[in-house]
Every structure is written in structure tokens, then in C-alpha cells.
Amino acid sequence: MRIKNVVKVMNFHSLLRVDSAKKKADKYLEIEKELTKMITTVQYNRNLMLDNKSLKPNKNNPVLDIYIGNDYGFCGNFNQKINEEMESHENNHKIVIGKKMRDIKSNLILKISKEELKDKFNLIEEIIFKGIKEMSYSQINVIYNHYNSINSFTLTRKPLFPVEFEKDNINNYNEDFVIEADINNIFVNLITTYISYQLKIADASSFAAENVMRQQITRESLKKIDELEYYKEREKSKEKKEKDFRKIIENYRRKVS
């Protein structure tokens, strides 16, 4: 069947996209690790006058949630849980990525499509930078479908700010240096860049998860097509046997008569 070949191609392309997204996420993860080292170096440098107290958010301030959805085919189920999560946190400020995400006006700061993300990512960075510099948010989160394996993904709410590093990064710190610049501004820029790469990792993971779902759907479609072909062939075989049997009966009757 012609449609079977089309579905096979769709299934294969989905697997390729999963692999591509994983490689992209790994690349961003390496950059994120380097940024973590840089931030730790600045934050715990005894020679720098970093005002750590001013970088602690007020818990009474609003929360900023960044939602990553899907714009393309088979997106209904993929976006459903993200939409439900968005509705359950109605009072939080929102950045929504995905034109097919539910249209919620309450506390919406920015909404862009997935196609626009690359060209308009700077708008998100500006919102994050301003939010951290002015400490206008108590917390920043990203909500997306996280890729687990070729067979599964899970809805994830990942905290991005305040940034908390593992103890190993802190305990291994032993570098002090002097710098003539506004260290607080440098630190905010580093944190913003760190969060930006966390978002890029989440987006790559979301894209992989999206293609896991697409691959599952096309795989099920192939099973259905195989079943239909099997029953169709069985029906043909049955009809042929009945036809042959009728022919035998007719030939026998002719001989008898």
C-alpha cells in the first residue's frame, strides 16, 4: 500500500529527529557545565564584592513560568498536560512557546510560535535579565515534556531560578582573582546566559519527546496497516477457496448429470 510507505518514512524521520535533538541537548549541556564553573568562580571569589543578599529573590514576588509546547502534527495530546499545568498556575506570569498552546490572557508576558523561537529568543533573554537584575520574580521555571527514552517522556516543571549548584561545585572552588568592573552586572549576565542554555536544553528535550510521540503514533499506524493487510489477504484467500470449492462442486455435478 502506498500509504504504508509514507507512514514508514514519517516513522524513520521521527527517529532521526530524536537523535538530532539528543545531540543538540548534549552540546548545550557541555556549555552549561562551563557556565556553572564560571558562575561558581564569581560567586565564591573572596576578592570580589558580590552582593549576594541583593541576588536573593523576595519570596512574595510573582513566579515566572516558561511553557514549551508543540506547533506541528499530533500536537493535541502533547500540549494537553502542559495546558492543564498552565491553567492550574493561573496567577503566575507566563511566557508561552507554541502557537497551538491554549490562549490564556491572564498574566501573559509573551507568546511566540516554535518557529519564531530562534529569531525571538533574545526577547526571552531580555525578560529574564530584567527579572533577575530587578529581582522582580521569586522563581523562574520551565515547563515542558522531557525526553526519557525512545519509548517515553514526562511532563516536567524544572526550576531555573534561583540557581542552586551541587555542593561539589562549591567545595572544589579554590580560585580567587580581581576584576575591575561591575561584578553584580557580570554575575546577572552569567546567570541569564546559564538560564538561557537551560531553556535550550529543555527545548531540545521537548523536540525529542515530540518526535517520540510521533514515532509511537506512526508505529501504531503501521501495526494497524499490517493488520488490515493481513485481514484483507485472509479474506481474499477465503474467497478464492470458496470459489475453488464451488468450481469443484459444479464440475462434479456436470459429471454426475
Q: Which range marks the domain in which residue 163 is found?
A: 2-215
Establish if 244 belongs to a structural domain: no
| pLDDT digit string, tens, across residues 195-229 | 898 898 888 888 887 777 666 666 666 567 667 76
Establish if 55 belongs to a structural domain: yes
| pLDDT digit string, tens, across residues 150-197 | 677 889 999 998 877 554 554 454 554 445 556 677 778 888 888 898
150 is written with which cell numbers?
Answer: 525512545
| Buried residues in 108-133 as b, exposed as e (16+ CB within 10 A) | eeebbebeebeeebeebbebbbebbb
Establish if 85 belongs to a structural domain: yes
| pLDDT digit string, tens, across residues 132-153 | 999 999 999 999 988 887 677 8
Task: Give the closest residue to 95 by CA, choosing from 63, 58, 134.
Answer: 63
Q: Are 88 and 82 in contact (CB under 8 A)?
A: no
- Domain total for the chain? 1
Establish if 256 belongs to a structural domain: no
Question: What is the CATH number for 43?
Answer: 3.40.1380.10
Task: Give percent of the chain with pLDDT exceeding 90.
Answer: 24
pTM for the complete prediction? 0.70
